[in-house]
Amino acid sequence: MKDIDAITTLHLRNEAQFFTFDLEKDGDLYAINIFKIKEIIKYNDTFIDIIANVPFVEGMIIVRDYNIPVVDMRKWFYYRGHNNVNLDKYEIQSDSKTIMICDFSGILVGIRIYSAQRILTKKWSEITRNDDDSNPSQKVIGHTKYFDGRIVQIVDIEKMAAEAFPWIEEQKHEALAAIKKIDLDKYVLIADDSKPVLKIMAKIMDKLGLKHKLFNNGQELLDFLYSNGPKGVGVIITDLEMPVTSGFEVIKQIKNNKDYKHLPIIVNSSMSGKSNEEMAKSLNADGFVSKSDPKEIESSIRNALNI
């Protein structure tokens, strides 16, 4: 309940917390949402070799009996989708290994950084989103300012995971074959600030035979909904952590509006686990799925529509 209260309190203030770090001495500052991190460790042993064709996957560590693959984030920033290149000259230069343990829909991944900095609390209005769709290799989704005025780049952590471990996405593509069309002549509205997530969600909707609209944040979804009305909308699917307007605000506005509160809302979050499902229920959401499992999404839509 402590995690639920912490996240909910931030959303009530339309804020988010970011863990900031650097990838080299006196280097640029980067950040990811703090709720994506399970813990930060110092690891002084050598990495266990694993078979990996991705040049920024360093190996594996064992933490409390968990086998956790590790990626070098600095190498990833120089990665351009070619697996037959050597990125060793870009590796993080440090005697000790600082590793963020992150949870991607139940899969633990270690992300090596140079050093940890401070936790940064920001209103979403203080975050500028990066909308450069012309650059497919873009690795940041936005930026904000540090305490001393320096720029902090917010990393597209889902993109990094998808490129490091393509089998995660391959599993989702295999799961697409198992889902069946849903008979619904209304739109599904989907809000998420991650382009890879929106891409897989569009594929899921196409396989389900559902009309859909995609939005980069909650405000875009709300603007569309209020401009067009609820009549043509069947289901709303939203992430929680988004710039401009969070998923929490989306749920609050819709569920508190007598003309829209009947619309089912499904939370689609990379922060999996029982506590996050409970958080979704506490927000009056009608369903919760781990990002972005095709079978869970199909099941949640059917349950929300009673079909």
What is the per-residue pLDDT for 159?
87
What is the per-residue pLDDT for 292?
79
CB burial readout 105-135, b (16+ within 10 A) else e: bebebbbbbbeebeebebebeebebbeeeee
Question: Are residues 140 and 288 both part of a single domain?
Answer: no
Question: Are residues 10 and 155 both part of a single domain?
Answer: yes
Beta strands in the chain (DSSP E): 15-22, 29-33, 37-43, 57-63, 66-72, 97-104, 107-113, 115-123, 128-129, 140-145, 151-155, 187-191, 212-215, 233-238, 265-269, 287-290
CB atoms under 10 Å from CB of 164, counted, come to 24
What is the per-residue pLDDT for 281?
76
| End position of a domain, from candidates 164, 188, 207 | 164
Question: Are residues 139 and 271 both part of a single domain?
Answer: no
Question: Are residues 108 and 201 both part of a single domain?
Answer: no
- What string of pLDDT tens digits covers the 307 residues of the chain? 455 556 656 666 778 899 999 999 999 999 998 888 989 999 988 899 887 789 999 999 999 889 999 999 999 999 998 888 999 999 999 988 999 999 876 788 999 999 999 999 998 889 887 766 555 568 998 899 999 999 999 998 888 988 998 877 677 677 788 899 999 999 999 999 888 789 889 999 999 999 999 999 899 999 999 999 999 999 999 988 787 888 888 998 999 999 999 999 999 986 655 656 677 777 789 998 877 789 999 999 999 998 8
CA distance 264 to 242: 20
| End position of a domain, from candidates 164, 195, 212 | 164
Question: Are residues 171 and 159 both part of a single domain?
Answer: no
What is the per-residue pLDDT for 290?
77
What is the per-residue pLDDT for 1?
42
Q: Exposed, middle or buried: residue 299 (CB in 10 Å: 0-12, 13-18, 19+)?
A: middle
Question: Are residues 12 and 117 both part of a single domain?
Answer: yes
Question: Are residues 93 and 181 both part of a single domain?
Answer: no
Q: Please report, to the nearest 10 degrees, the dihedral formed by the alpha carbons of residues 212, 217, 221, 222 taken in order.
A: 170
Question: Are residues 89 and 200 both part of a single domain?
Answer: no
Q: Considering only CA atoms, which of 240, 246, 249, 233 is closest in space to residue 304?
A: 233
Question: Are residues 69 and 175 both part of a single domain?
Answer: no
| End position of a domain, from candidates 109, 135, 164 | 164
Question: Are residues 6 and 149 both part of a single domain?
Answer: yes
Question: Are residues 228 and 258 both part of a single domain?
Answer: yes
What is the per-residue pLDDT for 8?
58
For 251, what's the count of Cα atoms within 13 Å in the CB-facing half-sphere?
28
CATH code of 99's domain: 2.40.50.180
CATH code of 180's domain: 3.40.50.2300
Give the total number of structural domains in the chain: 2
Question: Are residues 190 and 155 both part of a single domain?
Answer: no
What is the per-residue pLDDT for 18?
95
Quote the domain boundaries for residue 148. 2-164
